């Protein structure tokens, strides 16, 4: 799944859509669920191979969704806007809080190719040796392997939903031959699902993957269109280092003006200009402490 973004505009409409028989089929048996989740994963694999899709941004957007789902499972009230604030408005020395830590863990997990070292960076406080043992817990097909890792980690650490899901996603990615972790399970499983075991947990994972993969494909197509718009207006930007700013928007879920490689005034003007051109959105609805993204 390459991270470099090359957007031939004429190809945007040819990003394959999830077949209707996957999205509309009535699920009547475990076999149907397994078949449809496999079909959905196969389709997403094709979407992730498209150069038009901003891969790093897609992973970051899915990581935010995964973090929000994990926070909800833990019973905390923070949602998408709160998580963005906790991560992107941090100042040196600030602590992100429990919800912010969850979001940072997911964002770090998707930043680098899947490896024990990368996962060790995301899951602070866990040894690389323990992570390696957990990753090897699963055998067989991709979903079976991911479910086995999820079950093993939760058996060892019943309150470790976040590391369990991140490691299960990593096992899924490795089994599918993907370089990077693409959050799918976390956005589809429920608190009740995480208490299941064996075949019941595998079925819950198939259902979660089917649900999340359909959503991920739609998000990928939407981000491809938005990225195309941003790249189309980029030559009209006059600010120095505007190209570097554009790359940040193409790689991050949200960007504060202060994070751009420009003076404060120039950064705010650039953000306002991009919003005016329809190239980025202001994500918070606030007059201050704004965040911007595709």
pLDDT, residue 83, reads 94
Assigned domain for 148 exists: yes
The total of structural domains in the chain comes to: 2
Q: Calculate mean pLDDT across residues 20-31.
A: 80
Assigned domain for 66 exists: yes
pLDDT, residue 173, reads 96
> Coil, strand or helix: which one is 202?
helix
Please tell me what DSSP assigns to residue 187. T
169: Cα within 13 Å, side-chain hemisphere: 34
- First CA to last CA distance, the chain: 20
pLDDT, residue 240, reads 82
Whether residue 247 is found in the same domain as residue 161: no
Whether residue 143 is found in the same domain as residue 183: yes
Whether residue 129 is found in the same domain as residue 274: no
Residues 6+ apart with CB under 8 A from 84: 64, 253, 254, 283, 284, 291
pLDDT, residue 12, reads 53
Asked whether the predicted pLDDT for residue 207 surpasses 70, the reply is yes
Between CA 80 and CA 86 the distance in angstroms is 10
Assigned domain for 1 exists: no
> Coil, strand or helix: which one is 293?
strand
Confidence grade of residue 54 (pLDDT, cut at 50, 70, 90): very high
Share above pLDDT 70 across residues of the chain, in percent, rounded to a whole number = 95
Q: Which two tokens stand for residue 10?
A: 């004429």
Whether residue 282 is found in the same domain as residue 218: no
Assigned domain for 173 exists: yes
Give the phi and the psi of residue 152 in degrees, each rounded to 5.
-65, -45
Asked whether the predicted pLDDT for residue 276 surpasses 80, the reply is yes
Last residue in a domain, options 201, 224, 247: 224
Q: Among all chains, which residue has been given the structure tokens 């040196």?
A: 92
Whether residue 62 is found in the same domain as residue 194: yes
Q: Among all chains, which residue has been given the structure tokens 């031939």?
A: 8
Whether residue 212 is found in the same domain as residue 261: no
Last residue in a domain, options 178, 202, 224: 224
Full-model pTM: 0.91
Assigned domain for 123 exists: yes
Between CA 198 and CA 195 the distance in angstroms is 10
Asked whether the predicted pLDDT for residue 14 surpasses 80, the reply is no
pLDDT, residue 238, reads 81
Residues in the chain: 294
Task: Express each pLDDT in 257-268 by its tens digit.
Answer: 999 998 999 999
pLDDT, residue 26, reads 72
Q: Which residues of 211-246 are buried (b: 16+ CB within 10 A; e: fewer)?
A: bbbbebbebbbebbbbbbbbbebbeebebeebeebb
pLDDT, residue 6, reads 45
Apex 43 CA angle, 41 and 49, nearest 5? 100
Mean pLDDT of the chain: 90
Share above pLDDT 90 across residues of the chain, in percent, rounded to a whole number = 72
Task: Express each pLDDT in 99-137 by its tens digit.
Answer: 999 999 999 999 999 999 999 999 988 899 999 999 988
Q: Calculate mean pLDDT across residues 54-79.
A: 93
pLDDT, residue 21, reads 86
Asked whether the predicted pLDDT for residue 13 surpasses 60, the reply is no
Whether residue 262 is found in the same domain as residue 168: no
Whether residue 75 is found in the same domain as residue 194: yes
CATH code of the domain covering residue 281: 1.10.10
Between CA 246 and CA 223 the distance in angstroms is 14
Q: Among all chains, which residue has been given the structure tokens 């067989």?
A: 140
Whether residue 255 is found in the same domain as residue 109: no
Last residue in a domain, options 224, 248, 279: 224
Assigned domain for 11 exists: no
Confidence grade of residue 9 (pLDDT, cut at 50, 70, 90): very low
CA distances from 51 to 6, 7, 15, 113, 126 (A): 5, 7, 10, 17, 35
Assigned domain for 7 exists: no
**Domain range for residue 32?**
28-224
Whether residue 154 is found in the same domain as residue 35: yes
Whether residue 165 is found in the same domain as residue 245: no
Assigned domain for 20 exists: no
Asked whether the predicted pLDDT for residue 64 surpasses 60, the reply is yes
Asked whether the predicted pLDDT for residue 10 surpasses 60, the reply is no
Task: Express each pLDDT in 157-188 by its tens digit.
Answer: 999 999 999 999 999 999 999 999 999 999 99
Which secondary structure element, helix H or strand E, spans residue 255, and what is its range?
Answer: strand 255-256
Whether residue 144 is found in the same domain as residue 270: no
Say what angle helices 55-73 and 161-176 make with each other, to 10 degrees: 150
């Amino acid at each position: 799944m390459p991270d470099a973004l090359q957007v031939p505009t004429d190809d945007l409409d040819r990003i394959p859509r999830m077949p209707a028989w996957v999205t509309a089929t009535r699920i009547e048996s475990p076999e149907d669920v397994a078949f449809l989740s496999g079909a959905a994963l196969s389709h997403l694999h094709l979407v992730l191979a498209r150069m038009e899709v901003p891969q790093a941004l897609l992973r970051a957007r899915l990581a935010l969704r995964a973090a929000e789902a994990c926070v909800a499972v833990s019973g905390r009230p923070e949602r998408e806007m709160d998580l963005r604030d906790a991560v992107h408005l941090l100042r040196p020395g600030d602590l992100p809080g429990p919800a912010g830590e969850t979001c940072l863990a997911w964002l770090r997990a998707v930043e680098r190719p899947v490896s024990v070292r990368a996962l060790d960076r995301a899951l602070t406080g866990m040894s690389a040796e323990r992570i390696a043992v957990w990753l090897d817990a699963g055998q067989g097909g991709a979903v079976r392997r991911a479910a086995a890792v999820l079950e093993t980690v939760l058996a060892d650490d019943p309150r470790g939903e976040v590391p369990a899901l991140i490691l299960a996603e990593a096992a899924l990615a490795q089994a599918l031959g993907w370089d990077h972790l693409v959050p799918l399970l976390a956005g589809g499983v429920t608190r009740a699902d995480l208490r299941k075991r064996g075949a019941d947990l595998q079925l819950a994972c198939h259902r979660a993957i089917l649900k999340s993969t359909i959503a991920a494909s739609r998000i990928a197509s939407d981000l491809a269109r938005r990225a195309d718009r941003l790249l189309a207006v980029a030559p009209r930007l006059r600010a120095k280092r505007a190209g570097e700013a554009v790359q940040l928007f193409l790689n991050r879920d949200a960007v504060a003006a202060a994070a751009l490689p420009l003076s404060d005034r120039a950064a705010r003007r650039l953000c306002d200009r991009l919003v005016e051109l329809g190239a980025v959105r202001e994500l918070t609805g606030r007059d201050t402490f704004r965040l911007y993204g595709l």
